[in-house]
Structure 1
Amino acid sequence: MDFGAQVKHLRTSQALTQEELAQKLNVSRQTISSWENNRNLPDLEMVVTIAKTFDLSLDKLILGDDDMEQKLIKDGSDVRKSRNYKVAAVLFLIGALCFVAKTLAPETIDADGILHEPFFLIPIGYLFVFIGIGYGIITFIRSIIRKQKKN
């Protein structure tokens, strides 16, 4: 049974209208209608909420509908890829901030003629910048490889 038919069957077996189910799930009636007519599929968080609402296990709700299985797999992959890009951006930003901190930090010469400066920020900055760029490139290449494997 496809997901839309499953939701409709569950709703009607509980004698709920689309409006009543929508209120329980905090969505619009049109959203329920689009699920039941297979025009749209809910995200994973909503699938869990639906399963809890009808006291079902997730496998009973999801399995049997290939479209829903593929959507949830794709959603999980997209979240993982997005998280990896965010990590890469944060690493790059930390590196850039090291360079800015080095530039803004005061340099002093003490009475013995020794220069005091936060030189260590330069290699740390390069380290973070290169790791961030590398992590972003690896994430991009992995996404391309996964797309090619699917085709």
Structure 2
Amino acid sequence: MNLGEQLQRLREEKNLSREELAQEMNVSRQAVYKWENNKGYPDIENLIKLSDLYNVTLDELIKGDHSFQKKIVIDQKKNKIEDLSDPGFMIGIILVFVGLFLDLGAFSAGVTILGFLTMFFYDDLKKTFWTIKKDFKEER
């Protein structure tokens, strides 16, 4: 059973209308409609409220909906040693050293800044590059 069907079943078991649930949850009736028809998903705060209201665990709410489970992103902290071996960090540190220690004239500051940006925003730069490349290929 997917999340929407589960939410609708639980709401009906509590004899609540969508309007009553929306007021209880402090959301719009349309939001409840979207949740129950799988056109949108509640955020984690609303999932917790729903689990409390229906006296079910979060696991019971989402376990049957595999598409929703794939949308859940768990932010995992990286180990500091892993950060140092990250390709973005390595490329960035090389650019910083090149900018600081090689005489590139007016380009030294730019290369150093590019190194720092690469160290901190490597994943974003990589996504942007692949998006531009994909868009370029589609225009041909």
Residue 55 (structure 1) aligned with residue 55 (structure 2)? yes
Deviation at 1:33, TM superposition (A): 1.0
Deviation at 1:131, TM superposition (A): 3.8
Deviation at 1:132, TM superposition (A): 4.5
Deviation at 1:66, TM superposition (A): 1.0
Distance in 1 between residues matched to 2:125 and 2:47, nearest whole Å: 29
> Which amino acid letter does the alignment assign opposite residue 19 of structure 1?
E
Q: Which residue of 2 aligns with 1:30?
A: 30
Distance in 2 between residues matched to 1:140 and 1:64, nearest whole Å: 36
> Which amino acid letter does the alignment assign opposite residue 44 of structure 1?
I
Equivalent residues of 2:118, 2:125 under 8 A apart = no
> Which amino acid letter does the alignment assign opposite residue 30 of structure 2?
Q
Residues 137, 2 of structure 1: alpha-carbon distance in 2 compared, 3 angstrom cutoff: same
User: Which has the higher relative contact order, 1 or 2, with Cα contacts under 8 A spaced 6 or more apart?
Assistant: 1
Deviation at 1:127, TM superposition (A): 8.3
Q: Which residue of 2 aligns with 1:134?
A: 119
**Post-superposition, which runs of at least 4 consecutive aligned residues in structure 1 deviate over 2 A?**
126-133, 138-144
Q: Which residue of 2 aligns with 1:86?
A: none
Residues 37, 132 of structure 1: alpha-carbon distance in 2 compared, 3 angstrom cutoff: same
* Normalised TM-score (structure 2): 0.56
Residues 127, 44 of structure 1: alpha-carbon distance in 2 compared, 3 angstrom cutoff: farther
Q: How does 1:70-81 map to 2 (within 5 A)?
A: 70-73=70-73, 76=74
Deviation at 1:128, TM superposition (A): 8.7
Distance in 2 between residues matched to 1:27 and 1:138, nearest whole Å: 35
Residues 51, 139 of structure 1: alpha-carbon distance in 2 compared, 3 angstrom cutoff: same
Deviation at 1:26, TM superposition (A): 0.6
RMSD of aligned residue pairs (Cα, Å)? 3.0
Q: Which has the larger radius of gyration?
A: 1
Distance in 2 between residues matched to 1:29 and 1:16, nearest whole Å: 12
Residues 133, 68 of structure 1: alpha-carbon distance in 2 compared, 3 angstrom cutoff: same
Q: Encode CA deviations 1:7-40: one digit per residue, 9 max, x unaligned.
A: 0011011111111110111101111111111111
> Which amino acid letter does the alignment assign opposite residue 121 of structure 2?
G
Q: Which residue of 2 aligns with 1:41?
A: 41
Q: Which runs of 5+ in 1 are unaligned?
A: 81-125, 145-151
* Normalised TM-score (structure 1): 0.53
Residue 11 (structure 1) aligned with residue 14 (structure 2)? no
